Structure 1
Amino acid sequence: MSTELIKVKTDEQVGIITLNRPQVLNALNLQLIDELVNELERMDQDKNIRVIVLTGNSKAFAAGADINEMAEESAISIMQKDQFAVWDRMSLISKPIIGAISGFTLGGGCELMMNCDMVIASETTLIGQPEVKLGVMPGAGGTQRLVRAVGLRKAMEMLLTGDPITADQALAYGLVNKVVPVEAYYNEAIKLAKQIAKQPPLAVQLIKKAAHKAEDLTLTEGMQYERNCFYLLLASEDRKEGMQAFIEKRKAHFQGK
Structure 2
Amino acid sequence: MTDAALVHLDRRPDGVAVIRLDNGKVNSLSTALLGKLRAVIAELEADLPGAVVVTGNDRMFAAGADISEFGGPEEARAIGAAFLDALNALADLPRVTIAAIAGYALGGGCELALACDLRFAAESARLGQPEILLGIIPGGGGTQRLARLVGPSRAKDLIFTGRHVPAEEALAMGLVDRVVPAGELLETTLGYAAELARGPVVAHGLAKRAIDRGLDITLDGGLQLEQQLFVEVFTTEDSRIGVASFREHGPGKATFTGR
TM (norm. structure 1) is 0.93
- Aligned partners of 1:13 and 1:197 also within 8 Å: yes
| Match status 1:210 vs 2:241 | no
1:114 aligns with 114
SS in 1 for 2:17: strand
Mapped partners of 1:199, 1:233: distance in 2:
14
2:72 aligns with 74
Greater mean alpha carbon deviation, residues 146-155 or residues 74-83: 74-83
Aligned length: 253
Greater mean alpha carbon deviation, residues 122-131 or residues 86-95: 86-95
- The letter for the 2-side match of 1:4 is A
Greater mean alpha carbon deviation, residues 32-41 or residues 173-182: 32-41
2:137 aligns with 137
TM (norm. structure 2) is 0.92
1:43 aligns with 44
Mapped partners of 1:123, 1:83: distance in 2:
31
Q: 1:217 to 1:29 in 2, by over 3 A?
A: same
2:24 aligns with 22
- The letter for the 1-side match of 2:215 is E
Q: 1:168 to 1:77 in 2, by over 3 A?
A: closer
Greater mean alpha carbon deviation, residues 177-186 or residues 38-47: 38-47
- Aligned partners of 1:199 and 1:254 also within 8 Å: yes
Offset at residue 101 of structure 1 (A): 0.4
Mapped partners of 1:30, 1:182: distance in 2:
29
Mapped partners of 2:77, 2:178: distance in 1:
37
Greater mean alpha carbon deviation, residues 231-240 or residues 107-116: 231-240
Aligned sequence identity (%): 36
- Aligned partners of 1:41 and 1:93 also within 8 Å: no
| Match status 1:164 vs 2:156 | no
Mapped partners of 1:109, 1:254: distance in 2:
34
- The letter for the 1-side match of 2:57 is N
What stretches of structure 2 of length at least 5 have no aligned partner? none
Offset at residue 255 of structure 1 (A): 2.1
Offset at residue 233 of structure 1 (A): 1.1
- Aligned partners of 1:14 and 1:50 also within 8 Å: yes
Offset at residue 214 of structure 1 (A): 2.8
| Match status 1:86 vs 2:75 | no
1:183 aligns with 183
- The letter for the 1-side match of 2:30 is N
Q: 1:177 to 1:77 in 2, by over 3 A?
A: closer
Mapped partners of 2:203, 2:186: distance in 1:
25
What stretches of structure 1 of length at least 5 have no aligned partner? none
Q: Deviations over 1:170-206 (max 9, x none)?
A: 1001111100000011111101101111111211110
Mapped partners of 1:80, 1:241: distance in 2:
47
Offset at residue 85 of structure 1 (A): 4.1
Mapped partners of 2:20, 2:45: distance in 1:
16
- Aligned partners of 2:69 and 2:75 also within 8 Å: no
Aligned-residue CA RMSD (Å): 1.7
Mapped partners of 1:45, 1:196: distance in 2:
20
| Match status 1:56 vs 2:56 | yes
1:104 aligns with 104
Mapped partners of 2:75, 2:166: distance in 1:
35
